[in-house]
Amino acid sequence: MQSWPTPDLPMLPSGARPLRLYDTAADEIRPTAPDATARIYVCGITPYDATHLGHAATYLAFDLVQRLWLDAGHRVHYVQNVTDVDDPLLERAAATDTSWSELAERETELYRRDMTALRVLPPTDFVGVVESVDEIAEAVAKLLADDHAYRLETDIYARTSSSGHFGYESRYSREQMLALFAERGGDPDRAGKQDPLDALLWRGRRDGEPSWDTVAGAGRPGWHIECSVIARNRLGMGIDVQGGGSDLRFPHHEHSAAHAEALTGEFPFARHYVHAGMIGLDGEKMSKSRGNLVFVSKLRGAGVDPMAIRLALLDGHYRADREWTGGRLPAPERRLATWRKASAAPAGPDGAALLARVRERLADDLDTSAAIAAVDRWARATLEQQSDGADPAAPALMAATVDALLGIKL
């Protein structure tokens, strides 16, 4: 599947700091420790509708992870999937009398345009489930052959107990897992399952649904196994970061890790499990079911500068659940105008000190609010001419810092 263009990335002077991130499984902020090539997998969209601000906030968080690793001299192998066949997509297609494949193609293209406008670094591998059906089916067949899965009528389920570590990633109690499983696409009450938490690996052929003839039988992949296979086949095990929204902590990331660990006998699937907070509107998480989505494309269509959207979403900690209101846009628009004016000044205060401060704050679990505040102070001092010994090179370094590390093009 085609990705989107890579934005220009300015080179900064040496001095990057190692990135520390909160790991859900460890319940603490720990250093990331990539090899020469950092490996990251981020769960992608189900393209049944346009990119909303909750999606955008998640992908911006992991865009910063990429930028900080690149600044530290690592290469980055980033994989992202597209769930271009799944129940929500099929339901949306039926409701709008649209071909499911045409709907997926259209919304995926709109997602590409939104990511391009927001200057998100593209994944190295942008992989659709449809193009991965055979490799997923092979993994399902292996799990079945190794007795890590079982058939239930025409479907195939994973044995929750097979990895030997189930529950370590989310750290939820069984009662919490059962409640979330029912709420987030699971089927704990299905008769015949060996454990209510067993997850669907393969959905057997149903009339009126897309289906493929494979080594696992006729049907299509379940949700969690797709990410296990797409990630493992391209990145291997022990990847540096498995990322996504906090609503993926369970069941999606727990099960996808368990499937990969059962397939390989290796542990853990990822060294860090990193989750971004939810974006809410009027006190509720943005979701299609609630009808409260704010779309990136609609804001762009209304003439909002994508860099103002990006600034608005970065002005808050990535792990925190945040509220979006229309009143937030004037503030980032004013901030963006101030930064642009300051970056065009003939001179400014110490640009190297600003770079060091932004690096320091972002390396500490992506503290974007503090990094933005540091740029605010620099811009204010520049425009008010409050500094002694202003440096003519400082405005250019400030613009490069903001571009390379925060992704804001001035």
- For residue range 25-68, what is the model confidence (pLDDT) as tens digits? 999 999 999 999 999 999 999 999 888 899 999 999 999 999 99
For 228, phi and psi rounded to 5 degrees?
-55, -50
pLDDT of residue 291: 63
25 SS3 class: coil
Contacts of 207 (CB under 8 A, 6+ apart): none
- Model confidence band, residue 290 (pLDDT cutoffs 50, 70, 90): low
- pLDDT tens digits for range 346-386: 999 999 999 999 999 999 999 999 999 999 999 999 999 86
Only one residue has tokens 């190297």, namely 352
What per-residue confidence (pLDDT) applies to 337? Answer: 98
Residue with tokens 């997602």: 111
Q: Is the pLDDT of residue 294 over 90?
A: no
Average predicted confidence (pLDDT) for the chain: 95
pLDDT value at 216 more than 80: yes
Cβ pair 85, 27 in contact under 8 A: no
**N- to C-terminal Cα separation, the chain:** 31
pLDDT attached to residue 273: 98
Q: pLDDT for 165-199, tens place per residue?
A: 999 999 999 999 999 999 999 999 999 999 999 99
What percentage of residues in the chain have a pLDDT greater than 90?
Answer: 91
In this predicted structure, what is the pLDDT of residue 280? 85
- Whether pLDDT at 87 is above 60: yes
pLDDT > 70 in the chain, percent: 96
Predicted confidence at residue 324, as pLDDT, reads 84
In contact, 318 and 364? CB cutoff 8 Å: no
* Its pTM surpasses 0.85: yes
Mean pLDDT of 392-396: 96
Partners of residue 364 on adjacent β-strands? 20
Distance CA 193, CA 216 (A): 19
User: Would you state the structure tokens that stand for residue 378, as one six-digit string?
Assistant: 């620099």
Helices (H), 146-221: 174-183
232-243, pLDDT tens digit by residue? Answer: 999 999 999 999
> What pLDDT, on a 0 to 100 scale, did the predictor assign at position 285?
65
CA gap 348, 387 in Å, rounded: 7
Strands 149-152 and 155-158: antiparallel
Q: Is the pLDDT of residue 387 over 70?
A: no
CA distance 111 to 108: 5
Burial 110-135 (b: 16+ CB within 10 A, else e): bbbebbbbbbbbbbbbbbbbbebbeb
Residue range 338-351: average pLDDT? 96
What's the pLDDT band for 390 if we cut at 50, 70, 90? confident
Q: Give residue-wise pLDDT tens across range 295-308.
A: 999 999 999 999 99
More confident residue, 12 or 291: 12
**Cβ contacts of 57 within 8 Å, gap of 6 or more:** 276, 277, 279, 313, 318, 322
